[in-house]
Amino acid sequence: METATVIPEVDGPLVLYDGQCGLCNRSVQTILRHDRRGTFRFAALQSELGRALLARHGLPAEAMNTVVLVDEGKAFTKSRAALRIAGKMDRPWPVLRAFAVVPGPLRDVVYDWVARNRYRWFGRTDACMLPPPEVRARFLG
């Protein structure tokens, strides 16, 4: 008998990232350094929680080529997710929200190009990073 995944309520925005991607892991480290308020929570797309949240929001589980921001009951992907994340980080990152004036499809062309090349440029790991003890509670799933 198959059991249903219970999706816990998350306090604050949740960033779903590719746990095997070097660029994604570096991005998570950057968010942690510039989120002194502890706004963000994190989970790997590959985790049980990540897959359950993808399903809940109608996103394909095999789509590991985008960051996903789950915030206020909605899921945001690609450049829209990245800009929303930047907007909630400490200064100077919110200035990147200015790129929201660029049409989403055009922003996503650049996003998709980086996503296609991220393993070649930044490497790939066999496992998700182990977060340092002081932020471990912010990592779910």
**Identity of the amino acid at 124:** R
Give the pLDDT mean for 10-19. 86
Share of the chain above pLDDT 90, in %: 52
**Strand 41-44 relative to strand 14-17, pairing:** parallel
In a domain, 45, yes or no: yes
In a domain, 131, yes or no: no
Task: Give the model confidence (pLDDT) of 117-131 as tens digits.
Answer: 988 888 887 766 677
Domain range for 21: 14-124
C-alpha span between 134 and 59 (Å, rounded): 31
pTM of the model: 0.86
**How many folded domains does the chain comprise?**
1
| Least reliable range by pLDDT among 4-8, 29-33, 79-83 | 4-8
C-alpha span between 127 and 20 (Å, rounded): 6
DSSP letter assigned to residue 2: P
In a domain, 97, yes or no: yes
The per-residue pLDDT for 81 is 95
The per-residue pLDDT for 22 is 84
C-alpha span between 64 and 51 (Å, rounded): 10
Share of the chain above pLDDT 70, in %: 89
pLDDT band (50, 70, 90) for residue 137: confident
The per-residue pLDDT for 9 is 67
